[in-house]
Chains A and B, each alone.
Chain A
Amino acid sequence: MKKVIHRNSVVRVLGIGLALFFSLSANLTAQEADPGAGKSLFNTYCAACHNLDRNMTGPALRGVGDKYEREWLYEWIKNSQALIKSGDEQAVALWDQYQPAVMTAFPQLSNEDIDNIIAYTMQPKEEPKAEVAAGPAAGAGAGEQGLGNEVVLAALALVFGMLVVMLYLVNKTLRRIAEANGVEFARAEEEKRLPIWKAFVQNQFLVLVTTIFFLLGGAYFAYGYLMQIGVDQGYMPVQPIHYSHRIHAGENEIDCKYCHSSARVSKHSGIPSLNVCMNCHKSIVEVAPETATAEYSKEFYDGEIQKLYKAVGWDMNTQSYTGETQPVKWVRIHNLPDFAYFNHSQHVEVGGIECQKCHGPVEEMEVMYQYSPLTMGWCINCHRETNVKVKGNEYYEKIHEELSKKYGVEELTVAQMGGLECGKCHY
């Protein structure tokens, strides 16, 4: 009996499962297209040239399913050039508008894929309500915190001031009471005792020691002041465009040499020309909301990108350069005196030294500043400590060998190769 009941239940469960499965699959086939799958397809294949709401290389695509017939879209997406050549009116009109930009053929997309993509483009635009609500709230929160600190400080200062006033008043009152009661405090003794400064002047040893102390102290501070003349460590000027190394080199991990490409091949590391910025900022017109910090808002960063567009003469609406450019007056931070020679390629390419060794944690710097002192002592110190990369440098192989023999070492420091000679850097 038990067995039979058991089997019954199994059968029933199976039956229900099957029914569910069929109804689900029926649902799946009945559903026309999946915007979720469409989104990932769109991001993979289309988003290089199309955005939903603004023109890029190609037109904005929101609602494209209403503008054209589905069959025509299938043909266009799979091979737009063939459609243009066949003389299709719509296709030729589009080509006239956007040429010479060619829409890449996508023979690998099936009709279902295209349906999914179109379903994605047909979704209504999301209102950035949540963002707007969150924005001011976060701002207000930060503001309150800042205000809180100030209020606490002000309150502390007030309390401190009140304490001082109270002490003074108490002292005065006590003194008055004492006087009224006829108590003479300390006056008599004071007159008898020698004033402390007179006692000090009379003690010649003490005067001598103090003078020496002050002279030494003065010399220490004077030396310190003189030694920092001409040293710009920590120099952090305000740049015309607020470029954040933290975002570019830190969060996005763009290689230093992507922008400062001449560091590989020349004396100068080079300030990137604006076309290098436009390699990415042609597509990136605004920062993501999560890029903003408490100190710098999204609006601020977006404004800085607009400054770039203005300087390079990029018209976002037509996606073309206007030709009206204005040079950006970047402020130079690292500056060696004219009498010292330094070559970037020699250090970066041949020496294989990391940029961070001299420039510090640039990937964390919101505002760029000079990390190292760039003094001669600092250069020399590194030349004494750093071993030269001798492996795989055939050009110098012989001299490396001879020098190693001369000093009896495996690895040569820069100093042993003559890196301390005056003429290496001063000529």
Chain B
Amino acid sequence: MRIISKIAIVLSVVVLASCNSNTAPNYQFMPNMYESVPYDTYQESGAFRNGKEGQLPVEGTVPRGFEIYEYANTLEDYNLAKANLMSPLDSLNMEADLKTGKELYNIYCAICHGTKGNGKGKLVDREKILGVPSYDDAGRAITEGSVYHVIHYGLNSMGSYANQLNQTERWQVAAYVMQLKKDLEK
């Protein structure tokens, strides 16, 4: 009898120890101070029809300082943007803008386009994504406006970066891309 109880104790300890898994969160002390009363980011919520806290703004809403982009995602407007669209960045502040542009470019663009803009990024080197053009590609003849347009809408295999870069940042990246193009054409 005693042996059986001893075995039971050892077994229960082992079972308890193995229950302590790291796939479930730990106990909380006073959960009502830990859990947010208002909605948390990305939380599920029955208050909205699609069951999510994250909602799109009402259609037509614009953030402060937002400027409506007038070119549509079509071939004609791409060509129009290429020919007509100009950067609103202050040319006197270009050095700072290029610096920010470079930082952003190295985060978002260099992974495919390469830090020099020659289309030889890390993903291209590893043959994950192929056919990334160099910025000095003659058939494309990119301009600041076309770069902005493509960052805004994406083109062919490239997706839109509008949700990662705001309007000013897009212009800063576009300015840096044009500088890379100039360096490549040297």
A interface residue numbers (CB < 8 A to B): 42-50, 56-57, 99-102, 104-108, 228-232, 234-238, 251-255, 257-258, 261, 265, 268, 271, 273, 275-276, 278-280, 282-284, 288, 327, 329-330, 332, 335, 337-339, 369
- Whether A252 contacts B111 by the Cβ 8 Å rule is yes
B163 is contacted by which of A50, A251, A275, A288 (Cβ under 8 Å)? Answer: A275
Output the nearest chain A residue to B122 by Cβ-Cβ distance: A253
Q: Report the Cα distance A373→B37, complex, angstroms.
A: 24
> Beta-carbon contacts of B43-77 to A below 8 Å, as 1s and 0s?
01000001010000000000000000000001100
- Whether B119 contacts A235 by the Cβ 8 Å rule is no
Q: Report the Cα distance A223→B154, complex, angstroms.
A: 56
B41 at the interface (CB under 8 A from A): yes
B129 at the interface (CB under 8 A from A): yes
Q: Is the interface of A mostly helix, strand, loop or mixed?
A: loop
Q: Which of B37, B41, B44, B165 has the most CB of A within 10 A?
A: B41
- Interface segment, one of B4-12, B19-27, B80-88, B170-178: B19-27
Instruction: Evaluate whether A252 and B126 lie within 8 angstroms (CB atoms) in the complex, with A48-B131, A101-B156, A238-B23 already known.
Output: yes
Q: Report the Cα distance A277→B69, complex, angstroms.
A: 25
Output the nearest chain B residue to A338 by Cβ-Cβ distance: B36
- Whether A43 contacts B131 by the Cβ 8 Å rule is yes
Please give, as numbers and ranges, the residues of chain A lying within 8 Å of B138 by CB-CB distance: 107-108
> Beta-carbon contacts of B90-120 to A below 8 Å, as 1s and 0s?
0000000000000000111001000000010
A229 is contacted by which of B26, B133, B159 (Cβ under 8 Å)? Answer: B26
- Whether A48 contacts B130 by the Cβ 8 Å rule is yes
- Whether A280 contacts B29 by the Cβ 8 Å rule is no
- Whether B26 contacts A280 by the Cβ 8 Å rule is no
- Whether B130 contacts A43 by the Cβ 8 Å rule is yes
State the Cβ distance, A391 to closest chain B Cβ, in Å: 14
Output the nearest chain A residue to B129 by Cβ-Cβ distance: A283
Q: A229-B26, A232-B26, A329-B44 are in contact. List 18 more A-B contacts (CB 8 A).
A: A49-B131, A57-B156, A100-B75, A101-B156, A229-B27, A230-B34, A232-B25, A234-B22, A235-B26, A252-B128, A254-B122, A255-B108, A261-B107, A265-B166, A278-B159, A283-B157, A337-B34, A369-B22
Q: Report the Cα distance A19→B165, complex, angstroms.
A: 63
Output the nearest chain B residue to A335 by Cβ-Cβ distance: B25
16 examples of A-B residue contacts, CB within 8 angstroms: A100-B74, A107-B139, A229-B28, A230-B34, A231-B26, A232-B26, A237-B23, A237-B24, A251-B126, A258-B111, A261-B163, A268-B41, A280-B128, A283-B128, A338-B33, A338-B35
Instruction: Evaluate whether A252 and B27 lie within 8 angstroms (CB atoms) in the complex, with A45-B131, A279-B159 already known.
Output: no
- Whether A48 contacts B156 by the Cβ 8 Å rule is yes
Please give, as numbers and ranges, the residues of chain B lying within 8 Å of A327 by CB-CB distance: 50, 52
B123 at the interface (CB under 8 A from A): yes
Q: Report the Cα distance A49→B74, complex, angstroms.
A: 18
Output the nearest chain A residue to B120 by Cβ-Cβ distance: A44
A255 is contacted by which of B111, B132, B165 (Cβ under 8 Å)? Answer: B111
A257 is contacted by which of B107, B127, B139 (Cβ under 8 Å)? Answer: B107
Please give, as numbers and ranges, the residues of chain B lying within 8 Å of A49 by CB-CB distance: 131, 156-157
B129 is contacted by which of A104, A228, A280, A329 (Cβ under 8 Å)? Answer: A280
Output the nearest chain B residue to A290 by Cβ-Cβ distance: B126
B106 is contacted by which of A255, A265, A335 (Cβ under 8 Å)? Answer: A255
Instruction: Evaluate whether A279 and B158 lie within 8 angstroms (CB atoms) in the complex, with A100-B75, A105-B139, A258-B111 already known.
Output: yes
B23 is contacted by which of A231, A236, A255 (Cβ under 8 Å)? Answer: A236
Q: Report the Cα distance A45→B165, complex, angstroms.
A: 27
Q: Report the Cα distance A56→B130, complex, angstroms.
A: 12
Please give, as numbers and ranges, the residues of chain A lying within 8 Å of B127 by CB-CB distance: 43, 288
Please give, as numbers and ranges, the residues of chain B lying within 8 Å of A47 by CB-CB distance: 130-131
Please give, as numbers and ranges, the residues of chain A lying within 8 Å of B2 by CB-CB distance: none
Please give, as numbers and ranges, the residues of chain A lying within 8 Å of B75 by CB-CB distance: 99-100, 102
Q: Report the Cα distance A254→B22, complex, angstroms.
A: 28
Please give, as numbers and ranges, the residues of chain A lying within 8 Å of B160 by CB-CB distance: 275
- Whether A48 contacts B132 by the Cβ 8 Å rule is yes
Q: Report the Cα distance A44→B50, complex, angstroms.
A: 44
B186 at the interface (CB under 8 A from A): no
Interface residues of B in 128-157 (CB under 8 A from A): 128-133, 137-140, 156-157
Q: Which of B23, B24, B41, B139 has the most CB of A within 10 A?
A: B139
- Whether A46 contacts B131 by the Cβ 8 Å rule is yes
